[in-house]
Chains A and B, each alone.
Chain A
Amino acid sequence: MGIFDKLSGWLLSIFGKRHVAIGIYGPPNAGKTTLANRIAMDWAGDVVGEASEVPHETRKIQKKDRIVIKQGKASLTIDLVDTPGIATKIDYHDFLEYGLDEEEAKKRAKEATEGVIEAIKWLDNLDGVILLMDSTKNPFTQVNITILGNLEARELPFIIAANKIDLNGSTPATLKSAFPKHEVVPISALNGVNMDLLYEAMVRKFGKKRK
């Protein structure tokens, strides 16, 4: 461990807020629950919820409290909040393509709309956010822009995680150039690639005392 790490750990132990609520936000199917499960498994040996390829699988806030992330001498206790995907439109017809019958699809759509509202309202209860984007897709979506704008307006510390770097067509560099003022960490939540970089960023960013 270098002098800087020792100094940073010492400063964190004195000034840092060590117990924070961290939300995972992003559009549907970015891998939010997969990431929440990865973090919870790595540090608490448990999962937060069920992930699925059907959009809007998570339709209610899911929480895992008191996860302790350690980085050298510094540590951070987080209440992890996995949120429903934020969308501007929810059409029940889209769920029919995944084999759901009409009644199930309509029910899922209704619950998904409630989930979006709940996710937006939860921004007021958090100390920090991991904004998760799918690195195989165009980052300039309205949902990404709106979430990012709200995080900036609330002055909430956040990290952009460019997920799915294990897939062909992933271009995390595009995300980095799209948001040059913000920290972007390329990860694969599914395979655990670069999770050490994300944990380091979380402890550093979310462990700081907020102004």
Chain B
Amino acid sequence: MEIKVNFISQEKLNGLGEQEKLKFILEEVRKGQILVLEQGLTAEEQAKLIEMTMEKVNEKFSGIEMESYMSEKQNFWGRLLGKKRARMTIVGPADKIKTVYRDKDVIKAVIVGKR
């Protein structure tokens, strides 16, 4: 089975506004892509992505699997804007990627075939 994972650079996402960025992620995931975001999403972006996902859930698309490591330390802009950003985010279609284990430092996920 061929498995495709797309690594999305920080530069690519920084060039998009919040709405555009989340729309891009969701569209890719709905096409069946698994994305690894070099720069993770903020907690607010994660919540917005869940909201947008719920609007799209139907019989063929059951939602997303998302995993992020939140950064313990904030950079200068993060502190100024009060936003904590994930160090990295993995997101994919719920029917393709399943988290099997997670703790503070380790995420174990498997990529599975369609139902």
- When the two chains form their complex, are residues B43 and A88 in contact, meaning their CB atoms are under 8 A apart? no
Q: How large is the interface on B (under 10, 10 to 19, 20 to 34, 35 or more residues)?
A: 20 to 34
- B59 interface neighbour in A92, A141, A147, A150, Cβ under 8 Å: A92
State in angstroms the CA–CA spacing of A148 and B46 once bound together.
11
A contact residues, range: 20 to 34
Interface SS, B side: mixed
- Contact partner of B102 (CB less than 8 A), chosen from A141, A150, A153, is A141
Contact between B43 and A113, CB atoms less than 8 A apart: no
Choose from B44, B53, B95 the contact partner of A88 (Cβ within 8 Å): B53
- Report whether B102 and A140 are in contact in the complex, using a CB–CB cutoff of 8 Å: yes
In the complex where A90-B57, A90-B62 touch, is A153 in contact with B50 (Cβ < 8 A)? no
A106 touches B51 (CB 8 A): no
Q: Which of B2-10, B13-21, B30-38, B65-73 lies on the face that meets chain A? A: B65-73
Whether B59 contacts A90 by the Cβ 8 Å rule is no
B63 lies within 8 A of A91 (CB)? yes
Interface string of A43-72 (1 = CB under 8 A from B): 000000000000000000000000000000
* CB-contacts of A10-68 with B (<8 A): none
**What is the distance, in angstroms, from B113's C-beta to the closest C-beta of chain A?**
15
B64 touches A150 (CB 8 A): no
Write out the residue numbers on chain B whose beta carbons fall within 8 Å of the beta carbon of A150.
43-44, 46-47
Report if A87 contacts B (CB, 8 A).
Answer: yes
Chain A contacts with B in 133-168, Cβ cutoff 8 A: 138, 140-142, 145-150, 152-153, 155
Per a CB cutoff under 8 Å, which of B43, B53, B67, B95 touches A149?
Answer: B43
Taking a contact as CB atoms under 8 Å apart, the answer to whether A88 and B94 are in contact is yes
Task: Kindly list chain A residues whose C-beta atoms are within 8 Å of the C-beta of B46.
Answer: 142, 145-146, 149-150
Q: Is the CB of A142 within 8 A of B103?
A: no
Interface window among A1-9, A75-83, A114-122: A114-122
- Which B residues touch A90, using CB under 8 A? 54, 57, 62-63
With A142-B66, A145-B68 known, 7 other A-B pairs at CB within 8 A are: A89-B62, A117-B51, A123-B47, A140-B104, A146-B46, A149-B44, A153-B42
Nearest 10 Cβ contacts at the A-B interface: A149-B43, A89-B63, A89-B94, A91-B62, A113-B54, A146-B46, A140-B102, A113-B57, A116-B54, A150-B43
Q: Which A residues form the contact surface with B (CB < 8 A)?
A: 86-93, 106, 109, 113-114, 116-117, 120-121, 123, 138, 140-142, 145-150, 152-153, 155, 178
